[in-house]
Structure formats: C-alpha cells, structure tokens
Amino acid sequence: MTVTTAATPTDPQALASATAHAMWQRDRTAQALAMRIEHIAPGHATLSMPVRSDMVNGHHICHGGMIFTLADTAFAYACNSYNQTTVASACHVDFIAPAKEGEVLHAEATERSASGRTGVYDVTVRTAEGKLIALFRGKSHRIGG
C-alpha cells in the first residue's frame, strides 16, 4: 500500500502512520475482526483483537486461524510501514497456548532483517495479561515502490 499524495510525509514515523491509516481504510478483514492498531513505527506494528464467541472452535478456544490472521495482519502493517507495497512470501506459526473467549490478544511485529526486496519479521502474540499465545515468523517481498 503506497501513500501517494502531494503531501506524502518524509519523516519516517509520520510516513509509517500515514501508510497504516491508508491501509486501514481498505482492510476489511481487520475491521471485521475488530482489530485495532495500537502502535505503528518503521518496521514495527502492534495490533490487538478481542476473542469473540464467533472466533472459538469446537474446543471452545480461539481458532488458530484467527490467531494466525492477527499475527499476519500485524506483520503486514510492519512490513508496509515504509510505504512500499509488500506482501508475504512465507509464514510460519507456533501455537504455544490457547486463547479464550473474552481475552484480548496483542500481536507485536518487529523487523529482524531487511535487504533488497525481502525482509524477515517476528510476531509475538500475547494476552493483555502477557501470556504467550503464539510465535509467528513472516518473510516479506516488496512488489512495488
């Protein structure tokens, strides 16, 4: 997602914020899942999501796909924070503990490496109380300027 206006910010933090805002306007998935952008910075993003009743599986715990989607979305905001259209080329998740209905999950994505058109990002998903839920690693590929 690239921000292209006559007043595109040059300050890295302002650019990251403007890019996140532009992405959010079109991010129907994140909006439908009640995600919130808690923090954005160059190469970094933290998003939250409440675990709703329609997100739990037959074991009455949060469906792994929902946790993956939160982590993947935080990854997307972090790797697009430089205002260069970037997509996932690979992702891996390890589920550490179950999340329960009513808990609020926080996914913190951090850039670990960026070189050329590729990057590596780690995402930690925790409850609001700090319990580790999942570890996610995403590899990114920049497809646009």
Within 10 A of 1 (CB to CB), how many other CB atoms are there?
20
Six-digit token string for 112: 């670990």
d(CA 19, CA 21): 5
> What is the model's pTM?
0.94
CATH 3.90.550.10, applies to 12-142: no
Q: What is the pLDDT of residues 55-108, one digit of tens each?
A: 999 999 999 999 999 999 999 999 999 999 999 999 999 999 999 999 999 999
Domains of the chain, by residue range, sit at 12-142
CA 105 to chain centre: 12
Share of the chain above pLDDT 70, in %: 94
